[in-house]
Structure formats: structure tokens, C-alpha cells
A and B are shown apart, each in its own frame.
Chain A
Amino acid sequence: MSLTNDIIQQRLTEKFGEQLTEWNQPYGLLTFTAPKDLNLKVMTYLFDEPELNFRFLTDLTAVHYPNRTNEELAVVYHLHNLVDNVRLRMKVFAPVAQPDVYTTSGLFSSANWMERETFDFFGVNFIGHPDLRRILNVDEMDYFPLRKEFPLEDQTRIDKDDDMFGR
């Protein structure tokens, strides 16, 4: 019997119950939200279960939702089952005042650099990460560029003509 979204959803709710919320399938990709503290447990379950077998972390990134108070930063994990070719998306929300999320770099080695990138651009602090520092930006930067409160253009430039370019 091939692995379908319903089977995955059923197995996850058996194990974790009502803690996993916001189930939906945009374009057929099963998506759910997990509480912040369970992200590693859910991913370890998905990794270890022989039927589920989600052993490939495709992507780890974050999204800033300024309107969701107390859960502004969403860390999004894209998992892939290479044997049955099934993909899964898991979201974990964290408040922007204290964006601490457990690291998954023990489970997936690729999460190491992806978490560094997420830290660099969104400021998500991954607890337990072996080497959490900026990867793509200059090390002296003290802000997180992809958060929505950061302005798109440099406000200190004086040589640009605002009539032509606007801000």
C-alpha cells in the first residue's frame, strides 16, 4: 500500500494527538503546524518510522508574519521521503521576542548551514546548534534583513534622487 497523505496524517495524530494543528494540503503537499518544543520529536518520529521514512530535509527556512502576535516567526521544514516520493511540510511558530527553536542538525547534517542561514536573515536562535553564526551576510551586521520591519532600501543614501527612484 503506497504512502498517502491520509496515512501520514493518521499516523501523526495517533502519536502526537491534538498538538499538531492547521492541517491542509495546498497543491497536494501535506502541511501541518507543530508546537515549538516538539519539532525535533516530530521529525525524529518521521525519520525513524519504517513506514513513514522521511529521511531527506529538502529545505529549512523561516517566514516572518508580523500580524500573528506571539508567533511571528514561522520556521518551515520541508521533508521528503525518497523511497515513496512523498513530500511533507512542517511549520513551527516562535515569538519574535524570544525566537528559540531546537536545532535539528543532530538529525540532518544539512540543517547545519540552513539553520545558520535562517539565523542570519531572521534571527531565529537554534538551541544546541554547534556553530550558530552568520553565513551569508557580513559578520558585523546587527540586524536581521528579511524580517519585515527592515526597510527595503538604505535610508542613509544621499546621492539617490527620490523623485526618480522613490523610497
Chain B
Amino acid sequence: MSRPVRFNIKSKDTHNWGINMVDSPDGLTGEGFFATSFDKVVGLARKNSIWPLPFATSCCGIEFMATMGSHYDLSRFGSERVGFSPRQCDLLMVMGTIAKKMGPVVKQVYLQMAEPRWVLAVGACASSGGIFDTYSVLQGIDQVVPVDVYVPGCPPRPEAIIDGFMKIQELVHNESLRRRNSDKYKLLLESYGIQ
């Protein structure tokens, strides 16, 4: 005599799996073609597949490890593949205290990245030197490289790092394709001594 089934009765089609699909940009659709502006498509593609370079130096690096773990998954945002070679990465995430002796190294890593590249300064030490106002600590990596987004915190929670990452995604999405060749950008790089 079998017992009545108690579990797993609800049909699986009604489940909300929580998957978000990216909306396609506005454009002209037809039989077998989709016309839109190049910026939008490129921005969309770049935004959802950023390859970060984790330049993790100290405690903020540990928070980044937590962010990349399964609980606060950063790969939900497309950055499944973190690379440690600057030649292959889009986003330089500087996490941790940078000493004055390390400054030229950060600059060298930045120079080796190919355009378009973005920089995310995670934590108080990378943003402004943090609590280490001393002879040996660089007071913010914006002394050596141009930074796009700063994430404050000591250390910032993984949610804060993800928030900073989402702001970078906004920047990537809305960036004009001509920005890297513009005069304003050239002036910015020259102010850092980068040709």
C-alpha cells in the first residue's frame, strides 16, 4: 500500500530561477537582422564581460577573495575569468596598501594594459593612503595612475566591492567609442606622464 506523495509536487515551470536576461538595446528589427548603434552593442558586450586583474596587496585582497567566492559571487557580473596578465585584462582592481616603492610597479602594470582599460581603487589605502599617513605609503594610487571608481572602506564589504564594480559597468556601458582617442583623454594621460 503506497503512501501519498508529499514532496516535489509543484510543477517546475512555475519556479522563479532568478535569472536575469540583459535587455537588448533599442534598434530596428526585421527578418534576420537587427540594426542598432554600434556604441550600444559594444557597450553592452563589454559591460557584461569585464576581465578584471586583481592587484591584491593586503586586507582588501582578502575581501576580494570573499567577493569572488560563491556567496558574493562576482562572476554573476561576467567577470568569471580573472587574469593576472595585464595584457589580457580590462579592469585593474587595486586592492590594498601600495607603498611608495610599489608605485612604479603599479604604473608599469597599468601601462601594459591595452585600451580600453579601467581602474578600480578598492579600499581606503588604495584611494588615499588610508590610515597609513607615513613616509612609506603612497597616498592614493591616483598619484600614479588615473582611477575611474573608488570604493571606500577598510576593508569594504564584498557588497561594496560589487557596488563599485557595478559603477564600473555603468561607465563601460556608457562610454563613447571615441573617448580613448579624444584630446581630453590624452591630456589626462599626459598629466600622469603616460604617452
Contacts and interface: CB of A to CB of B under 8 A. Distances in A.
Interface of A: 136-138, 141, 143, 145, 150, 152-154, 157, 159-160, 165
A145 B133 CA distance: 13
4 closest A-B pairs (Cβ-Cβ)? A145-B135, A153-B133, A138-B100, A138-B101
B136 A145 contact: yes
Interface-central residue, A138, A141, A145, A152, by most chain B CB under 10 Å: A138
A154 B100 contact: no
Contact of B135 (A137, A157, A165): A137
B134 interface: yes
B97 interface: no
B139 A154 contact: yes
22 contacts: A136-B101, A136-B136, A137-B100, A137-B101, A137-B135, A137-B136, A138-B100, A138-B101, A143-B135, A145-B134, A145-B135, A145-B136, A150-B135, A152-B134, A153-B133, A153-B134, A154-B134, A154-B135, A157-B133, A157-B139, A159-B128, A165-B133
B125 to A, nearest CB: 15
A107 B136 CA distance: 31
Contacts of A153: 133-134
Interface in B68-125: 100-101
